[in-house]
């Protein structure tokens, strides 16, 4: 019906049926000798000669599974090798920075290399909410001027919603991201965002948080006198410092304004959409760009990942041997290349005027600093 011919499986030879149970669970793998270990060790990546005065913020966005984490890690590594104090931070609930770098990445910014200024963090929004670090996280946030402390451990928002406020984990992630992007220790912050839907909600949060904070501050001012009037009802319980809490909210409001301005400034922020050369990925990337435009956030770069072309066609900064698809004799490779060429042409047309970078499809998994350096060379 589909026009695809499927060859029938030959019946198992009689002697195969006599294999033992142990033998029946044995899988034989024939190693490839296409590229020897010695040839792999000769791969060298030339250092970047680009001006280190690049964007302050680099954000990678796109649908899940297209390689955002790989691009973010490679960009951060290349930046730190250039002497720029760089933080790479993941807001994706399904973190994989640790796997990509092959080292443990903490939940708060920590240095992961001693020889270069490279820092990393995998934001844990649930932990932030539980510890009361987020302004809208429910318990311990102090947003109601201590009213929550006075009436008990459960906050008014928990009582209202029957649990933590909806979206509080994303708000916590945004607040921590705001804090990290505003940290003077880092000259550049590279963000590995969550898949498209999460990213768009994250970008909406500055507006939402700004609106909520205005209401919260008005509410705080209105109930300030009431709290003082009922202080005696709670004995000698120490009252929280209202002024300090209001100052914290004002600091967060100012931080939101700075981030919003930075994200809209193409000289300070490069939002990079990552896609793979397939029609559905291209269409989703087009929708993402349109939605980013609604937030006045310009897309500076589009990265097309896993393109079936030789590495030498993409960059001259890498010397060494890499396996590549055989487009002459491999029919499967030829058909996939036809699909990719069609998607590449569509992407080039859709993103005309935008810097488009290509990263080849590698035979090996991109994991560890060696392969990350190769990817970084493709992104220059």
The answer to whether residue 70 sits within a structural domain is yes
The answer to whether residue 26 sits within a structural domain is no
Q: What's the confidence (pLDDT) of residue 164?
A: 46
Whole-angstrom distance, CA of residue 358 vs CA of residue 71: 11
Nearest to 253 by CA among 376, 136, 160, 85: 136
For 218, counting Cβ atoms within 10 Å of its Cβ (0-12 exposed, 13-18 middle, 19+ buried), the class is exposed
Nearest to 209 by CA among 254, 261, 274: 254
The answer to whether residue 6 sits within a structural domain is no
The answer to whether residue 343 sits within a structural domain is yes
Domain of residue 272: give its range: 57-379
The answer to whether residue 19 sits within a structural domain is no
Q: What's the confidence (pLDDT) of residue 17?
A: 44
Q: What's the confidence (pLDDT) of residue 100?
A: 96
Model-level pTM? Answer: 0.74
The answer to whether residue 47 sits within a structural domain is no
Domain total for the chain? 1
Q: What's the confidence (pLDDT) of residue 15?
A: 46
Q: What's the confidence (pLDDT) of residue 182?
A: 86
Q: What's the confidence (pLDDT) of residue 258?
A: 81
Q: What's the confidence (pLDDT) of residue 227?
A: 56
Q: What's the confidence (pLDDT) of residue 224?
A: 61
Whole-angstrom distance, CA of residue 62 vs CA of residue 190: 15
Using the structure block, give the residue that is written with the tokens 């933590």. 164
The answer to whether residue 307 sits within a structural domain is yes
Q: State the DSSP code for 187.
A: S
The answer to whether residue 97 sits within a structural domain is yes
Nearest to 191 by CA among 266, 130, 263, 251: 263
Q: What's the confidence (pLDDT) of residue 371?
A: 94
Q: Tens-digit pLDDT profile for the chain (380 aa)?
A: 444 444 454 544 444 444 444 444 443 433 444 444 444 445 677 666 555 557 999 999 998 899 999 999 999 999 999 999 999 999 877 789 999 999 999 999 999 999 999 999 998 877 766 665 555 444 444 444 444 444 344 444 443 334 444 456 666 777 788 889 889 999 999 999 877 665 666 666 666 666 766 676 666 666 665 655 555 555 555 555 556 666 777 777 777 778 878 888 999 999 999 999 999 999 999 999 998 888 888 899 999 999 999 999 999 999 888 888 888 999 999 999 999 999 999 999 999 989 999 999 999 899 999 999 999 999 98
Q: Which neighbouring-strand residues pair with 113?
A: 118
**CATH value at residue 106:** 3.40.50.300
Q: What's the confidence (pLDDT) of residue 90?
A: 92
């Amino acid at each position: 019906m589909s026009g695809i011919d499927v060859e029938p499986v030959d019946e198992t030879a009689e002697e195969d049926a006599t294999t033992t149970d142990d033998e029946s669970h044995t899988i034989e793998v024939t190693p490839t000798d296409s590229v020897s270990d010695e040839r792999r060790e000769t791969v060298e990546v030339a250092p970047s000669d680009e001006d280190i005065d690049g964007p302050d913020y680099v954000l990678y966005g796109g649908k899940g599974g297209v390689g955002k984490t790989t691009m973010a890690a490679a960009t951060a590594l290349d930046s730190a090798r250039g002497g720029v104090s760089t933080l790479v931070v993941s807001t994706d609930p399904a973190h994989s920075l640790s796997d990509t770098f092959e080292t443990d990445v903490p939940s708060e910014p920590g240095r992961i290399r001693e020889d270069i200024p490279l820092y990393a963090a995998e934001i844990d929004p649930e932990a932030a909410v539980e510890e009361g670090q987020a302004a809208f996280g429910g318990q311990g946030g102090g947003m109601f001027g201590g009213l929550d402390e006075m009436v008990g451990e459960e906050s008014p928002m928990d009582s209202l919603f029957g649990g933590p406020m909806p979206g509080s984990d994303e708000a916590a992630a945004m607040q921590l991201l705001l804090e990290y992007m505003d940290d003077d220790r880092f000259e550049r912050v590279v963000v590995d965002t969550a898949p498209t839907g999460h990213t768009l909600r994250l970008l909406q949060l500055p507006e939402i948080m700004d609106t909520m904070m205005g209401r919260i501050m008005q509410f705080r001012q209105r109930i300030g006198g009431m709290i003082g009037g009922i202080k005696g009802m709670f004995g000698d319980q120490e009252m929280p410092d209202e002024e300090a809490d209001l100052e914290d909210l004002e600091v967060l409001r100012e931080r939101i304004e700075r981030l919003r301005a930075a994200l809209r400034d193409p000289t300070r922020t490069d939002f990079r959409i990552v896609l793979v050369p397939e029609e559905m990925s291209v269409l989703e990337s087009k929708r993402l760009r349109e939605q980013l435009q609604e937030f006045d956030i310009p897309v500076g770069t589009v990265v097309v990942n896993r393109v079936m072309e030789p590495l030498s066609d993409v960059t001259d900064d890498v010397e060494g041997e890499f396996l590549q698809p055989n487009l002459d004799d491999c029919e499967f490779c030829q058909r996939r290349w036809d699909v990719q060429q069609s998607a590449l042409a569509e992407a080039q047309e859709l993103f005309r005027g935008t810097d488009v970078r290509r990263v080849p499809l590698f035979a090996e998994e991109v994991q560890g600093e060696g392969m990350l350096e190769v990817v970084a060379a493709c992104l220059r």
